[in-house]
Amino acid sequence: MQLAGQSTAAQTFALATAVTRGLLNQAIDGIAGLGFKALSTAKATPLWQNVGLSQADEMFSFFLQREIDSGNPENTQYGGVFTLGGTNSSLYQGDMNWSEVIDESYWLITLGGITLQNNTVSIGNTVNAAIDTGTTLIGGPSSVIADLYSQIPGSSPSTESEGYYNYPCATNVSASVTFGNQAYVLSPSDFLAGATDRTGETCLGAFFSVGSDQTKTLQWIVGAAFLKSVYSVFDYNSGKPRVGFAALADGLNGGTESSTVAQTQTAKVGGGNGATSSLHRVPLQTLLATLTATFCVFAVWL
């Protein structure tokens, strides 16, 4: 297998005999799981550890392009940049904020906190968060998600999809999530997952419930709704794995460092970069992705 200038003759493949229609309709040749070996049912070595990189270079990083304003969600667009074996310094600015990986399965780190509409949302002890580019939205325990949407007047549980919430599209939602010593502001356009009716008055929120609040290893799934606001790095770090976030370079996804990163000691949380999104009705199945502990869509040569 060859990818990004690296190659391996010993990569384990899985053959899919059935896939969803959404994958068949796109120019996708496969999905590369980038989690840890322990997560693989076949105990296969992941691609990023199998392409001959030195131990110091066992890392990968992502810039995820924000969706352009469009009334047609089927438009094909530039998706971003996946860097294997390092980082791309032209895509971020400032210091990298690192969090240690809790468990070598998912890229699992500690979630420090959430604010919504300038109010702190209690997350209690449910702090284990998988950082996953393969997930579109942000999932968490049901009680925390309910508390989160209680900060938005007019929001209510979806009657069509259990665990999801609707809110008035006209509401400018200010949200942030904290990792390490940094709070990161989500763009209002990323909180808006799509209109749920033809009038464009009711929208689906980006935070959804993943189930009960019982103690377990995986409590949160943090996907592209957050990751589009930062540059993310997944570093094995010579056996001490960590995940890093940095502010995007000026101009990427319409943001600046000050519009993305805020110190956690600061009570006031900004409202993102002011980006907006066209209100187009999106079938729920197009908003979801299976948790793959970070994945990359790729073209493959054998």
Of the candidates 203, 210, 209, which has an alpha carbon nearest to the alpha carbon of residue 188?
203
Question: What does the pLDDT read at residue 68?
Answer: 54
* 3-state SS class at 78: coil
Burial bucket for residue 157 (CB in 10 Å: 0-12, 13-18, 19+):
middle
Of the candidates 294, 295, 255, 231, which has an alpha carbon nearest to the alpha carbon of residue 63?
231
Q: Is residue 11 part of a domain?
A: no
| Single-letter residue type at 216 | K
Q: Which two tokens stand for residue 300?
A: 């493959």
Number of domains making up the chain: 1
Q: Is residue 37 part of a domain?
A: yes
Q: Is residue 62 part of a domain?
A: yes
Q: Which two tokens stand for residue 131?
A: 């950082």
* pLDDT digit string (tens) for the chain, length 302 residues: 877 677 788 888 888 888 777 666 777 777 888 999 998 888 888 888 888 777 778 999 999 988 654 445 455 567 889 998 899 999 999 999 999 999 999 999 999 999 999 999 999 988 999 999 989 999 999 999 999 999 999 999 999 889 999 999 999 999 999 999 899 999 898 999 988 888 889 999 999 998 876 557 889 999 999 999 999 999 999 999 999 999 999 988 765 554 555 433 222 222 222 222 233 333 333 333 333 445 554 433 32
In angstroms, the CA 87 to CA 297 distance is 18
Q: Is residue 13 part of a domain?
A: no
Of the candidates 76, 72, 59, 75, which has an alpha carbon nearest to the alpha carbon of residue 297?
76
Q: Is residue 12 part of a domain?
A: no
Q: Is residue 14 part of a domain?
A: no
In angstroms, the CA 158 to CA 207 distance is 12
Distances (CA, A) of 45 to 8, 35, 52, 83, 302: 11, 10, 12, 19, 18
Q: Is residue 272 part of a domain?
A: yes
Question: What does the pLDDT read at residue 239?
Answer: 92
- The CATH code of the domain that includes 40 is 2.40.70.10
Q: Is residue 221 part of a domain?
A: yes
Domain limits for position 111 = 2-6+19-298
What count of Cα atoms within 13 Å lies in the side-chain half-sphere of residue 88?
17
Question: What does the pLDDT read at residue 272?
Answer: 28
